[in-house]
Amino acid sequence: MQLSNTSQYAIRILAYIADQADSPLVNATQLSQRLHIPYKFLTKIMTTLVKKDLILSIRGKEGGYALKRDSSEIMVGDILDIFNDSIQDEQCVLGIGFCNGMCKCALHDQWMEPKHLLQKMFRESSLKDIAGRGCKI
Amino acid sequence: MQLSNTSQYAIRILAYIADQADSPLVNATQLSQRLHIPYKFLTKIMTTLVKKDLILSIRGKEGGYALKRDSSEIMVGDILDIFNDSIQDEQCVLGIGFCNGMCKCALHDQWMEPKHLLQKMFRESSLKDIAGRGCKI
DNA sequence: TTCAATTACTATCTTAAGGTAGTATTAATA
DNA sequence: TATTAATACTACCTTAAGATAGTAATTGAA
């Protein structure tokens, strides 16, 4: 049970850029090297983040990437949403079609509390909150 | 972020069998139909569970499957272990190589509590605890 | 002893995630 | 304007999960 590679990469990328708030633009080569993410895969993710309006990109010489909004306004949950990796309210831990009060799965009750904590963690952690915390390898 | 299909199936299968403690054996056709799991995929999972000693199988006419141990002694975590889907102590939510006190990821602190709750949920829920709870579709 | 019902085994197909390659486009600067 | 350094686009390759197909082995019972 874990986040997809792509989601993990995206969070680390965005946190890294948030961390470099002083330097205006960060480029793909630097991100790839510092975060150990394959260059071509990274640029694919970046293009997605640009289309989803989390990232601003400048093409051409001296170009690069920057956050499009303030780091306090980009939540980890927003990132997971893009890659369909966030936890939905109705999400059943055992994957049965319709898991609620009427017809709930065997683990429904046990799942509620960790699910809410995870959702809270993703919803309430902004890039500003998590940037600058330890290493980003 | 969710369990693999295979893990979800395995938990539902085992909980269903635990639930039928009165009837001696349950067969693959019944499991497949009641739980809506593709027959051939289900039998593949069953064979794995037999090899891992969670399930006892009887071949031939009148054959089928039964739990090999008491339902109170099979934990959800044991099932996830088999399919490499359990949450390890050192597991980093952002997938960086080595995430601990020395070199921790940006989400390390926020991840601790939900991680422990999930581990607890998986470690402490036995088939006996969860059998007979609602529908198993 | 034959038949039918069952699990086990082996091989293959399908799909999506993860990753790579090559080329086109953009823009600063010499 | 030519060069260079950057992102964007399109297409493809690789791998593992999920699923399927066919056959072999086992066993109870007619």
pLDDT digits (tens, 9 = 90+) for B6-62: 999 999 999 999 999 778 899 999 999 999 999 999 999 999 999 999 999 999 999
What chain B holds in terms of domains, given with CATH numbers, is 5-130 (1.10.10.10)
If you average pLDDT over residues A80-94, what whole number do you get? 96
- CA–CA gap between residue A7 and residue A28 (Å, rounded): 17
- Is the C-beta atom of B61 closer than 7 angstroms to strand C? yes
The rounded percent of chain B whose pLDDT value lies above 70 is 100
Q: Best of A94, A129, A130 to disrupt the B interface by mutation (most B CBs within 10 Å)?
A: A94
Residue A137 has pLDDT above 80, yes or no: no
- Contacts of residue A135 in chain B, CB cutoff 8 Å? 96, 103-105
Contact at CB, A125 and B136, closer than 8 angstroms: no
- Minimum-distance CB partner of A94 among B11, B91, B103: B11
Query: What pLDDT band is residue A98 in, cutting at 50, 70 and 90?
Result: confident
Q: Is residue B3 packed enough to be buried (19+ CB in 10 Å), middle (13-18) or exposed (0-12)?
A: buried
pLDDT at residue A23 greater than cutoff 90: no
A20-25, long-range: CB < 8 A, 24+ apart: A21/A71, A21/A131, A24/A64, A24/A66, A25/A58, A25/A62, A25/A63, A25/A64, A25/A65, A25/A66
Paired tokens of A118: 């995870």
Residue B134 has pLDDT above 80, yes or no: no
Over residues A109-128, the pLDDT tens digits come to 999 999 999 999 999 999 99
**Quick check: helix, strand or coil at residue B26?**
strand
User: For residues A3 and B95, is the Cβ–Cβ distance under 8 A?
Assistant: yes
pLDDT over 90 percentage in chain B:
86
Are B95 and A131 within 8 A, CB to CB? no
Average pLDDT over residues A51-70: 97
B78 pLDDT above the threshold of 90: yes
Look at residues B62, B23, B35 and name the one whose alpha carbon lies nearest to residue B45.
B35
Check CB contact under 8 Å for A137 and B103. yes
Residues A40, A62: Cα–Cα separation, whole Å: 19
Tell me what pLDDT residue A14 has: 98
What pLDDT shows up at residue A131? 87
Q: What is the pLDDT of residue A56?
A: 97
